[in-house]
Every structure is written in structure tokens, then in C-alpha cells.
Amino acid sequence: MGVPTPDVDARWLVEAFGDDPQALEAAVARREAREPLQLILGTAAFRYLEIEVRPGVFVPRPETEVLAGLALDRLSAGATAIEPCTGTGAIACSLASEGEPSRVLATDADPAAVELARHNARSWPTVEVHHANLFAGLDTALLGAVDVVVCNPPYLDPSQVAVAEPEVRNHDPWNALVGGESGWEVIADLVAAAPYWLRPGGWVLIEDDPSRVTQTVQALEHHVGPASIEADLTGRPRFAVARRR
């Protein structure tokens, strides 16, 4: 059926449903229909965590594990981080579980994502999840005081979704994928707002489409401070990282 990794997926399904032939058959049929493996299993592996996933909320991806790692490299003990566009809360939970932040504020514009992120973050009292557009309504005492802003925003344009794999096209929510007509509108808002929240020397890290990451770095240089590009697991230019001057 065009599933790119049939062996691996079959192993996961046998592991999860192998005791129940009917359940296994149903799970295989769902995968044949190109439903994402993680939605069938109900969980996604993300760094050291098993994150609950649900239909209607973006499934976290391996490249974003690298983004979380880049943020953790810059997160000292007691730091404050903001993660707009949190989805399942995977990045925020990783910061809390692997680092020692005093506070991680995660936001999402989608109530279903907020509910799931709160559920996934239930073991980490340092994580608070807000239903908000980017930074809207966050504690204004944090203006100019945040150490790290890390974000995997929607960054595709509609034409890219049209040619994406069925797992993406038919299952990830449109507003999790598409960052506006050009694909770059959410990132433009993020880059413009981030410096108001960051302390001098604070970091902003953004996942982006490889075709637009240079544009994001140039905007970060303008609004935030010195910026550079980091590669994903396959060597593609994927992350824009900047330090507030």
C-alpha cells in the first residue's frame, strides 16, 4: 500500500496487538489505509518519553527531537522557557524531564492540543499549558526575562500539503501544518514577538521548512540577534537558532 517502512511497522503492530488476532488484523487494515502508526498505537516515542497521541492533534516527529536537544543544550538549571505551538506537549515535557527548568510555558491555539498537552505534562509540575495564540496572554512578568523560546510551528504552504504523504495530508490538522498562504506567516509573527520575551543573551530556536530556513535566519538576525542554521537527522537545513543581542 506504499507504506515506506513496512517491516518496522509490522513489528510494532505485532508487539502491540499480537495476542489478539482480530485486533491485529484491524490494526494492519488501519495502517494499510495509511493511518499513522503512532495513532494506531496511541503513543509516539519522543527522546526518552512515550507521548500519548490522539486523532486531531499533530503527531510529533523525529526531527523535532533534535530541536528539543538544541534547546536543552541552552537550558541551564532554573531557566524559564516558552514553547508556543506545543501540540502534544512533547518538547515541553522533554525540557522538563531532561533539564531542570523552573518554568516551561507551552501554548497552543487548538483546544484539543491543549487538553492532550496538559495530559502528557501531568507528571511535570514545571510545565503549564495555555490555550493561546503564540505568546498571547502569558505572564507579562516574563517580558524580557525568558531564557529559551523553542517552537515547531506550522510551516508548510497549502501546495506542500497537497503533495504530502497520506499520513500527513489526511491525519495531521491543517492548522498544525499550514503556516498561512506563504507557509511563513506564523514564523513571521513568532520572530517579531520573541525578542520582547527573551532576556538579553536568551535563545530562540525554530523548526522550519528547509526551503525557508534562510529567510527565517535573516529575520532573526534583524529582530533578535546573531543567528545560524542547524541540520536535522538527514542533514537538511531545518532549524534557525538565534541569541538575543
Kindly state whether residue 105 participates in binding ligand SAM, applying the rule CB under 6 A. no
**Least gap, CB of 201 to ligand SAM (angstroms):** 24
Terminal Cα-to-Cα distance of the chain (whole angstroms): 51
Kindly state whether residue 94 participates in binding ligand SAM, applying the rule CB under 6 A. no
Residues 5-64 that bind ligand SAM (CB under 6 A): 58, 60, 64
**Least gap, CB of 44 to ligand SAM (angstroms):** 8
Give the contact letters, 144-183, x = binds to ligand SAM (CB under 6 A), - = no.
--------xxx--------------------xx-------
Toward ligand SAM, which CB reaches closer, 188 or 229? 188
Toward ligand SAM, which CB reaches closer, 95 or 227? 95
Quickly tell me which residue has 500500500 as its cell. 1
In one-letter notation, the amino acid at residue 108 is D
CA distances from 169 to 7, 28, 48 (A): 23, 20, 28
Q: What is the SS3 assignment for 165?
A: coil
Kindly state whether residue 213 participates in binding ligand SAM, applying the rule CB under 6 A. no
Q: Which of 40, 75, 96, 113 lies at the binding interface for ligand SAM (CB under 6 A)?
A: 113
Kindly write down the DSSP assignment for every residue of 109-131, as one continuous string. Answer: S-HHHHHHHHHHTTT-TTEEEEE
Kindly state whether residue 102 participates in binding ligand SAM, applying the rule CB under 6 A. no
CA distances from 100 to 1, 93, 124, 149, 228 (A): 44, 11, 11, 15, 25
